[in-house]
């Protein structure tokens, strides 16, 4: 059964009970089907823009800054990190809804990033904020023209 079918089945099971915590119930259902949630965890992302900046907000509560890497490849950002368990292995887990472990999130943005000086990164309240100076990046754009052909070149 595909992951999409598993999620659909889990949602169908929960539809009759409005008091169910959807995230928790879906998490329990997927785990009962043998799905390792650490394999599918990707933090939620918002991308907003105006005439001067592009801002990317990544929801990563519980992830320490020293585990986060942010890589830029033209118009793609790859964010990797790890949320570690705050409790020891010797403790007995009664309920497990929070996903721990490594994650990777690839994000396509509407501009290419060419200069690290045009990017600011901060983290507050479990949200990673990447701000890209759009006006500076647009100054880095260029175009080339193909030289005009001479008759001798085409023969």
Rounded Cα–Cα distance for residues 23 and 1 (Å): 20
The predicted model gives 101-116 an average pLDDT of 91
What integer pLDDT is reported at residue 19 of this predicted model? 45
**Tokens encoding 30:** 């997927």
Confidence label for 3 from pLDDT (cuts 50, 70 and 90): low
Q: Which domains does the chain have, with CATH numbers?
A: 1-35 (no CATH), 37-148+150-154 (2.60.40.790)
Whether the per-residue pLDDT at 16 is higher than 60: the answer is no
Whether the per-residue pLDDT at 117 is higher than 90: the answer is yes
The predicted model gives 2-22 an average pLDDT of 54
Q: Which residues of 89-108 are buried (b: 16+ CB within 10 A; e: fewer)?
A: eeeeeeeeeebbeebebebe
Q: The whole model's pTM is what? A: 0.69
Quote the mean pLDDT of the chain. Answer: 82
Confidence label for 1 from pLDDT (cuts 50, 70 and 90): low
* Contact between residue 57 and residue 122 where contact means Cβ atoms under 8 Å apart: no
Whether the per-residue pLDDT at 143 is higher than 70: the answer is yes
């Amino acid at each position: 059964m595909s992951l999409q079918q598993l999620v659909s089945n889990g949602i169908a099971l929960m539809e009759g009970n409005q008091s169910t915590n959807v995230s928790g119930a879906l998490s329990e259902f997927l785990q009962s089907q043998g799905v390792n949630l650490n394999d599918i965890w990707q933090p939620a992302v918002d991308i907003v823009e105006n005439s001067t900046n592009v801002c990317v907000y990544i929801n990563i509560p519980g992830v320490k800054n020293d585990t986060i890497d942010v890589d830029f490849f033209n118009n793609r950002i790859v964010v990797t990190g790890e949320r570690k368990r705050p409790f020891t292995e010797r403790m007995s887990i009664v309920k497990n809804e929070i996903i721990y472990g490594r994650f990777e999130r690839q994000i396509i943005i509407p501009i290419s990033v060419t200069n690290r000086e045009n990017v600011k990164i901060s983290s507050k309240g479990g949200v990673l904020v990447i701000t890209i100076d759009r006006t500076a990046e647009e100054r880095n754009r260029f175009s080339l023209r193909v030289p005009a052909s001479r008759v001798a070149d085409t023969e």
